[in-house]
Amino acid sequence: MTSQADVIRVQIKYKDVEKTFTGNIDEVWLSINKLFRDFIPTLEIANRLMLKVDLQKLTEDCAGIIAFSKEGPALLVPRSKLTDNEALGLWLLANYVGCQLGILESDAVLKEELQMRLGKDAKITSTRLGELLKNEICAKTTDEKYRITTFGIVQIQKETLPKIKAKVGI
């Protein structure tokens, strides 16, 4: 049996995880070792596999391609230089960036608004949005709007933005 004097309490905080161990020194020592052996490396591995968006880098990468005015987001690249999927991806990306910067209230967009911005008929817009959904670039919300996914942001940032910059000489 452990007396009150033999009880040790150790609290460990690592990023968003907080663990407290209480018991005799042997129990606490074993628990701490188990935490460091099992839990911490798993967090580090998982952290390396998580898709993350660096908003500052994203806004730098979007410079000269998207912009915002009091009327809302705008594409600075001539529409003739973009494929339909690139244009839709950029509109969805612009809404995400605008929302993250506090310029727009939401990152989700109605299909009709995307159709208007794309300048194509409903069938072409639906087909292209279907392709973006299939490729997990965007997702449909419960209120029938579209928003870019984290995967979509990463893909556009890595592949589409450099391609567009090369096309227009930015």
* pLDDT at site 39: 74
CATH class (in words) of the domain with range 55-168: mainly alpha
In this prediction, residue 130 carries a pLDDT of 96
| 10 beta partners | 21
> pLDDT band at 104, cuts 50/70/90?
very high
Q: Which residues pair with 147 in a beta bridge?
A: 139
Distance between CA atoms of 11 and 13, rounded to whole angstroms? 7
d(CA 147, CA 145): 7
Q: Domain coordinates of the chain in residue numbers?
A: 4-49, 55-168
Structure-token pair, residue 14: 């690592």
C-alpha–C-alpha distance, residues 149 and 147, integer Å: 6
112-148 pLDDT tens trace:
999 999 999 999 999 999 999 999 999 999 999 999 9
pLDDT at 5: 65
- 89 CB neighbour count, 10 Å cutoff: 26
Residue pair 82/92 in contact (Cβ under 8 Å)? The answer is no
Whether the per-residue pLDDT at 56 is higher than 90: the answer is: yes
